[in-house]
Amino acid sequence: MVPIDKSIAQRCAVLGLDFDKSIIGEDIKNTLSAAKAFADYKRDLVLNLGNSGTGMRLLTGFITGSGKECTLIGDESLSKRPMDRIAEPLKGWGADIELREHKFSPIKINPSNLQEQFIYELKIPSAQIKSSLLLAALSSKTKIEIIENIPSRDHTERVLEECEADIRREGNRIILDGKKDIVKKYIDIPGDFSSAAYLLAANILSKKTNRLENVGVNKTRVAFLEVLDQMGAMVMIHNHSVKSNEARADLVTSHNDELQGVTIDGDRIPNLIDEIPLIAVLSMFAKSKTIVRDAKELRYKESDRISLLLSNIRRFNPDIEIKEFDDGFEIEPAEDKNMEIVKIKTGGDHRMAMSFMVASLRSGKKVEFDDMECVETSFPSFFDLIEKWYQ
């Protein structure tokens, strides 16, 4: 019911690990076909990652480490997202990479040899940068030590551990020696917590209790549950188990009365980053103010998630008071007096479309989207499921 975890699946795709591919979104499909084309390497290879930032950043690391030449391209939105964040550390390690305007894709990877050892302190708390470097060490059979001061999702470390790589964590350092080959195993991928989050919110806003089975509950992904708790909505965790080195469980929302506003900032942000549009939507129906800060990374996602989110909230209910900051926002909820149809601008961003679909469940207000197909990247059955369960 919830699609498999997009982050884990794309790591498996790059590493050539087997997993259940029966129901997958466009991002995973694009990363799989790019990784396969790279495995059957031919000269003048151009790989198209579509909308997948994870695919592009992870493959750039992996391909750079291999020493081969390759060009990576993406769709219009991906072509506007910063790629210097991975190119710069890789260049510091010895890579030869060219970017359009020193920042964007196409990414031209020229043949190079990475130094035997590299130590890198992450400047942005990003799992994609961390993973890109780990994959480069693996494919170049070199050693990397990454200093991670603010933790981000750890799926790459876990899948490498599961496949018996020489990887360990010492405090805030992750050390991988790529000389040891991995053992290619079948990976049992749980449901995607970030997709499940929309259904949890839908349950909360429509006061339903649909059970979501086999959802990934890796500790670096579930900070949203804490936020829900703070807002006054409880989620119960049943049938907890671990398979393929990843925790999973069934999630059931329990009854909630009124939602309260929250303040979210600092080190909590990376583990919540994909759920922030949804938190903003929940906050529209709370009784008090919500504040999000230290989240400038939202501006570099599939859309500028701060500005687009706030403009859509204004369209949804113009009485809501909003303050926009460079790194976040403040939302003061207000009663919704207007039941006119709202036209949502998605910017081609799946999380924007899903967030406002969920908002409409509470208010009963009709929403129209300029693009409904964008949900195909992560949650192809989303609109059908909403119709089946909530309407």
Residues that bind ligand S3P (CB under 6 A): 7, 54, 126-128, 131, 152-153, 273-274, 297
Amino acid identity of residue 111, one-letter, is: P
Catalytic, out of 274, 326, 371, 384: 274
Q: Spell out the residues 6+ positions from residue 99 whose beta carbon is closer than 8 angstroms to its own.
A: 83, 84, 87, 105, 106, 107, 108
Q: How many CB atoms lie within 10 A of CB 20?
A: 12
Nearer to ligand S3P, 67 or 82 (CB): 82
User: Kind and range of the H or E element at 260?
Assistant: none
Cα 265 from Cα 101, distance rounded (Å): 32
Nearer to ligand S3P, 131 or 283 (CB): 131
As measured in angstroms, the least distance from the Cβ of 121 to ligand S3P is 16
Tokens of 136: 């480069």
As measured in angstroms, the least distance from the Cβ of 55 to ligand S3P is 9
Nearer to ligand S3P, 26 or 274 (CB): 274
Q: Is 250 a catalytic residue?
A: no
As measured in angstroms, the least distance from the Cβ of 239 to ligand S3P is 25
Q: What single DSSP character describes residue 16?
A: T
As measured in angstroms, the least distance from the Cβ of 49 to ligand S3P is 13
Nearer to ligand S3P, 139 or 152 (CB): 152
For 261-278, b where at least 16 C-beta lie within 10 A, e where not — what string?
bbebeeeebbbbbbbbbb
- CA distances in angstroms from 240 to 152, 187, 236, 253, listed in the order given: 22, 18, 11, 16
As measured in angstroms, the least distance from the Cβ of 124 to ligand S3P is 7
Nearer to ligand S3P, 142 or 218 (CB): 218
Cα 205 from Cα 324, distance rounded (Å): 25
* Residues known to be catalytic: 274
